[in-house]
Structure 1
Amino acid sequence: MEVFSEKRDIIATLDTYKAKQQTIGFVPTMGALHQGHLALVEKATQNNDVVVVSIFVNPTQFNNPDDLKKYPRTLEKDISLLATLSKDLLIYAPTVEDIYEGKTASESFDFDGLEFEMEGKFRQGHFDGVGTVVKRFFDIIKPNNAYFGEKDFQQLQIIKKLVKKQHIPVNVIGCKIHRETNGLAMSSRNTRLKPEFIKEAPFIYKTLKTAKMYFGTKSANWVTSWVEKQFANHQLLKLEYFIIADVDTLKLLKRKSKNKKYRGFIAVYADDVRLIDNIALN
Structure 2
Amino acid sequence: MMLVKTKKELFEKLQMLREKGSIGFVPTMGALHRGHLSLVDFAARENPVVVVSIFVNPTQFNDPDDLKRYPRDLEADLELLKTTGCNLVFAPEAAEMYPEPDTRKFDFGHLEQVMEGKHRPGHFNGVAQVVSKFFEIVQPDRAYFGQKDFQQLAVVKMLVRLLNLPVEIVACPIIREKSGLAMSSRNELLSPEERENASLIFDILSQAKNLTGEKSVEGLVNWVIENINKNPFLNVEYFEVVDSENLQPVKTWEEKGEKTGCIAVHCGKVRLIDNIVLN
**TM-score w.r.t. length of structure 2:** 0.97
- Work out whether 1:27 is the aligned partner of 2:13: no
Query: Contact between 1:31 and 1:74, CA under 8 Å: does it hold in 2?
Result: yes
CA distance in 2, matches of 1:107, 1:99: 14
Matched with 2:191 is 194
Asked if the contact 2:20/2:49 (under 8 Å) is kept, the reply is no
Per-residue Cα deviation, 1:197-245 (whole angstroms, up to 9, x for no partner): 1110100000000111111332111100111211232211111111000
Whether the 8 Å contact between 1:220 and 1:254 is mirrored in structure 2 is yes
Mapped contact 1:60–1:106 kept (Cα < 8 A): no
Residue in 1 that maps onto 2:89: 91
CA deviation map 1:25-64 (0-9, x unaligned): 0000000000000000011011101000000000000000
The structure 2 residue matched to 1:111, chosen from 108, 114, 124, is 108
Partner amino acid, structure 2, of 1:35:
R
1:163 maps onto 2:160 in alignment? yes
The secondary structure found in structure 2 opposite 1:45 is: helix
User: 2:266 matched to which residue of 1?
Assistant: 269
- For structure 2, which runs of at least 5 residues remain unmatched after alignment? none
Pick aligned residue for 1:210 from 177, 192, 207: 207
Letter in 1 for 2:201: I
Question: How many residues of Structure 1 are paired with residues of Structure 2 in the alignment?
Answer: 279
Distance 1:35 1:254, change over 3 A: same
Question: Which segments of 5 or more consecutive residues in structure 1 lack a partner in the other structure?
Answer: none
Task: Find the aligned partners of 2:12 and 2:59 in 1 and give their Cα distance.
Answer: 27
Spell out the pairing of 1:109-188 with structure 2 (5 A cutoff). Answer: 109-188=106-185
CA contact under 8 A between 1:106 and 1:129: conserved in structure 2?
no
> Which residue does the alignment assign to 2:9?
9
Separation in structure 2 between the aligned mates of residue 73 and residue 94 of structure 1, nearest angstrom: 13
CA distance in 2, matches of 1:107, 1:59: 15
C-alpha distance after superposition, 1:239-269 (max 9, x if no partner): 1111000011111111234630110001001
Bigger Cα displacement from structure 2, 65-74 vs 212-221 = 212-221
Does the Cα contact within 8 Å between 2:265 and 2:271 map onto a contact in 1? yes
- TM-score scaled by structure 1? 0.96
Q: Quick check: 2:189–2:270 contact (8 Å CA) kept in 1?
A: yes
Distance 2:69 2:226 in 1: 31
Residue 113 of structure 1: SS of its match in structure 2?
Answer: helix
Residue matched to 1:234: 231
The residue type paired with residue 89 of structure 1 is N
Matches within 5 A, 1:46-65: 46-65=45-64
Q: Does 1:281 align with 2:278?
A: yes
SS of equivalent residue, structure 1 residue 151: coil
